[in-house]
Chain A
Amino acid sequence: MESVSVRKLTKVYAKKGGQTVAANDSLSFEVQRGELFGLLGPNGAGKTTLIMQLLGLIRPTSGEICVEGIDVVQQPDQVKRLIGFLPQSGAPMRAIGVERALRYTGRLRGQSDGDAGRQASRLMSDLGLAHAASRDVNTLSGGEMRLVNFAMALMAEPLLLVLDEPTNELDPQHRRVLWEMLDDLNTRRGVTVILVTHNVHEAERVIHRVAVMHNGRFAALGTPGDIKSSLGGAVRLEFRLKDVEQVVAADAFPDLGTVERVHAGEYRLYLPPDRIGAGVDTVLNGIGFDRFDDFRIAPPSLEDAYLALEKTP
C-alpha cells in the first residue's frame, strides 16, 4: 500500500525578467507504507519545494500528489493530520517549557490533553530530555533543542514523518538516539519516513530507498545498493598524510585515475575491482609507507555514489 504517491509533479516559479525556473520537473515516485525514504541532493536541487508540496503548503503547477490516498491539493487540512513535520529550522515554542511545547503540539495536532501529556512524558524519557521537562526550550543546547523539535514532530503519532535535516546540530550521542528511535518507529510501528539529509553516511544505515535530486529532477532513484552499483563496483581508496602540507597532484597516478583532495592532507581515488592490488602498490610505493597517517580501502558508500551523481552534468 502506498503512503505517498506523486505523479508528474511540476512546480514552476516565475523569475524577474519573465523567465521561469522549474524547481520540480515532472517528478513521479511512490513511498510505500512503512518505508524509510531518503531524499538527497545539493542545496537548490528542489528538495524543499517537494516537501512543501507534500505538506500542502505550496500548490503544484501541475501533477498529482497524494498522502494515504488523500489528494494533498484538494484536501490539505486532512493531510496535515497525518504528517509530523520537522523543519530544518524555525520551529516555534522556544520560550516555553519542553513538556509544554510537546503537550501543546499534541493538542494542536488533535490529541486530548491527557494523551498529549502521556506521550510527551514518554518521548522525553526515550530521548533523554526528562531532566529538562520544565526548562524553556531556548535555554537548552542546540542538540537538545533539535531533539525537542524532533519529539514535537512525533506528537499525535503521525502515520508519515517528514524530517528535514534531523541530525543538524546533534552530537554523536544524540544522533545515535535519534537514528535508533527512527529505526524503532519504522520497524515496530510501521511509520513511513521521508528523510531529507546531507548526512548521507549515517542515513545509509536506516533508509530503504533513496532519491537523489539534481536541478529539480531525480538523478537517481532506488535502493542504496542500486545507487551504489552506478559506480560499477569501484572501490574507494582513502589516505591521510602525516604532513598535511604535502600536496598530491590530481594526476599523480595517471594509470589509476584522478586523485581527489578531500581535506588538507587527505585524498581519495576510486579503483576498478580488477586494479585494486596494483593500485594499492602504486600509491604506497609512490608516496612512501612511512608518510601515511591513515590508509583505507572500502567498498563504495552511498555518499560516494551521491558525490559521483552530483558531479554528473
Chain B
Amino acid sequence: MSAKFFSDVKVLWLEQILEIRSYWVMYAGLSLVLPLIMVFGFSRFGGDMSDPAVLVRMIGGTMIFAIAQEGFSTMAVRISSMRRDGMLIYYASLPIRKTALILALVLSRALLLLPPVLVTITVAPLLYHVTIHYDPALILLLPLLALLFSTLGVAFGLLVESVELAQSATYALLFVLVLAAPVFIPWESLPVPLQIFALLLPFAYAADALRMTLTGTIAAPFWIDIAVLLAMLIASLFILERRLRWRLE
C-alpha cells in the first residue's frame, strides 16, 4: 500500500462524509427507530421474557440486523445508484485503486451504523433488566461486522443489474436474516439444510460471536468466528479489487 493509496482513501472518505453531512442527523434519528421496535417486538414473539438467553439473542440479533440493514442494504443500493448514474465510470477514470474507493465508502457508512447499534446495546438492557457484558472485544467485533457487511453490500450493488433489483434483493435478504438464519432463531431450531446454508453466510458467525461477547463467555469458538469473518472480509476485498472491472461492460 503506497502513501497515494492512503491519501486517496482519506480524500474519498472526506468527500463521502461531506455528502452524508446534509442528511446525517435525520438519517441517524430514523435509524434508531427500527432497532428499538425490533427489540420491543421480537422479545415478545420469542416467548419467555424472563429467559436472559432469549433476550440476549434478541439484542444481538437486532444489532446484526441494524448493521446488515445499514451496511449491506444501504451500501448495495448506494453503489447500484452510483453505477446507474455513471459515477463509477468517473471514479474508474481516475488514477485510484478500486479498494481505495470501496474502503472510503465503507468507512464513511460505518459512522451511520454506530447510532442504531449503540442505542440497542444501551437501551435494551434497561428495558428488560437483563445484564449484558460490555466486553472490549466489541471494539473489534462491531467494526469488523460493519466493514464486512458494507463490503458485501458494495459487491452485491456492483453485481445486480438495477437499483430496483438491488432494493428488492436486499429486502429479501433481510427477511432471510430474520426468519431463516441463526440470528433470532436458535441454531438447533433450524432444519439441517438451513444450518448448512447458514455456514456459508456471515450471519451465523456474527450472531455466535456477538452472543459470546454480550454474555461474557468468550472462548476459543469466538476467535474461530472472528477468523472466519475476517477471512470473509479479506476475500470480499480481494475479489472486488481483482475480479470486478468496475462492471462497465
CB–CB B248/A80 < 8 A: no
A104 to B15, CA, bound (A): 8
CB–CB A100/B18 < 8 A: yes
8 A Cβ contacts from A86-106 to B: 87-96, 100, 104-105
CB–CB B87/A90 < 8 A: yes
CB–CB A81/B87 < 8 A: no
8 A Cβ contacts from B1-55 to A: 4, 7-8, 11-12, 14-15, 18-19, 22
> Which residues of B sit under 8 angstroms from A267, Cβ to Cβ?
none
Q: Check: A110 CB closer than 8 A to any chain B CB.
A: yes
Residue of B nearest to A83 (CB): B93
**Interface segment out of the listed A26-34, A38-46, A52-60, A222-230:** A52-60
> Which residues of A sit under 8 angstroms from B4, Cβ to Cβ?
110
CB–CB B92/A57 < 8 A: yes
A10 to chain B, nearest CB (A): 14
Choose among B15, B22, B87, B249 the residue that contacts A58 (Cβ–Cβ < 8 A): B249
Beta-carbon contacts of A3-22 to B below 8 Å, as 1s and 0s? Answer: 00000000001000000000
CB–CB B95/A108 < 8 A: yes
Task: Assess A104 versus B93: contact at CB under 8 Å? Given A87-B86, A89-B85, A90-B86.
Answer: no
Task: Assess A80 versus B91: contact at CB under 8 Å? Given A96-B15, A107-B7, A107-B11.
Answer: no
> Which residues of B sit under 8 angstroms from A52, Cβ to Cβ?
89, 248
Pick from B4, B15, B85, B245 the residue with the most CB of A within 10 Å: B15
CB–CB B95/A80 < 8 A: yes
A106 to B94, CA, bound (A): 10
8 A Cβ contacts from B151-166 to A: none
SS of A interface (majority): loop
Choose among B12, B85, B87, B93 the residue that contacts A80 (Cβ–Cβ < 8 A): B93
CB–CB A110/B85 < 8 A: no
Task: Assess A109 versus B95: contact at CB under 8 Å? Given A87-B89, A104-B11.
Answer: yes
A58 to B4, CA, bound (A): 24
Residue of A nearest to B85 (CB): A90
B248 to chain A, nearest CB (A): 5
Choose among B15, B93, B246 the residue that contacts A93 (Cβ–Cβ < 8 A): B15
Task: Assess A108 versus B93: contact at CB under 8 Å? Given A57-B248, A91-B87, A95-B19.
Answer: no
B80 to chain A, nearest CB (A): 14
Choose among A81, A85, A88, A108 the residue that contacts B11 (Cβ–Cβ < 8 A): A108
CB–CB A91/B14 < 8 A: no
8 A Cβ contacts from B88-112 to A: 89-96
SS of B interface (majority): helix
> Which residues of B sit under 8 angstroms from A91, Cβ to Cβ?
87, 90
Interface residues on A, range: 20 to 34
A15 to chain B, nearest CB (A): 13
Residue of B nearest to A81 (CB): B95
- Residue pairs across A and B with CB atoms within 8 Å: the count is 69
CB–CB A108/B8 < 8 A: yes
A35 to B15, CA, bound (A): 34
A194 to B245, CA, bound (A): 24
Q: Check: A171 CB closer than 8 A to any chain B CB.
A: no
> Which residues of B sit under 8 angstroms from A93, Cβ to Cβ?
15
CB–CB B90/A90 < 8 A: yes
8 A Cβ contacts from A110-129 to B: 110
B15 to chain A, nearest CB (A): 6
Residue of B nearest to A91 (CB): B90
CB–CB A92/B91 < 8 A: yes
Q: Check: A77 CB closer than 8 A to any chain B CB.
A: yes
Residue of A nearest to B84 (CB): A90
CB–CB B86/A96 < 8 A: no
> Which residues of B sit under 8 angstroms from A100, Cβ to Cβ?
15, 18
> Which residues of B sit under 8 angstroms from A90, Cβ to Cβ?
85-87, 89-90
A81 to chain B, nearest CB (A): 5
CB–CB A80/B94 < 8 A: yes
> Which residues of B sit under 8 angstroms from A94, Cβ to Cβ?
19
A77 to B98, CA, bound (A): 11
Task: Assess A89 versus B86: contact at CB under 8 Å? Given A52-B248, A58-B249, A104-B14.
Answer: yes
> Which residues of A sit under 8 angstroms from B18, Cβ to Cβ?
95-96, 100
A110 to B248, CA, bound (A): 24
Residue of A nearest to B21 (CB): A95
A108 to B87, CA, bound (A): 15
CB–CB A109/B94 < 8 A: yes
> Which residues of A sit under 8 angstroms from B87, Cβ to Cβ?
90-92
CB–CB A108/B19 < 8 A: no
Pick from A57, A92, A100 the residue with the most CB of B within 10 Å: A92
> Which residues of A sit under 8 angstroms from B96, Cβ to Cβ?
108
4 further contact pairs, Cβ within 8 A, besides A96-B15, A109-B95? A57-B246, A96-B18, A107-B8, A109-B94
Interfacial residues, chain B to chain A (CB-CB below 8 A): 4, 7-8, 11-12, 14-15, 18-19, 22, 82, 85-87, 89-96, 245-246, 248-249
12 contacts between A and B (CB under 8 A): A57-B93, A57-B246, A85-B90, A90-B89, A90-B90, A92-B82, A92-B87, A94-B19, A95-B19, A95-B22, A109-B94, A110-B4
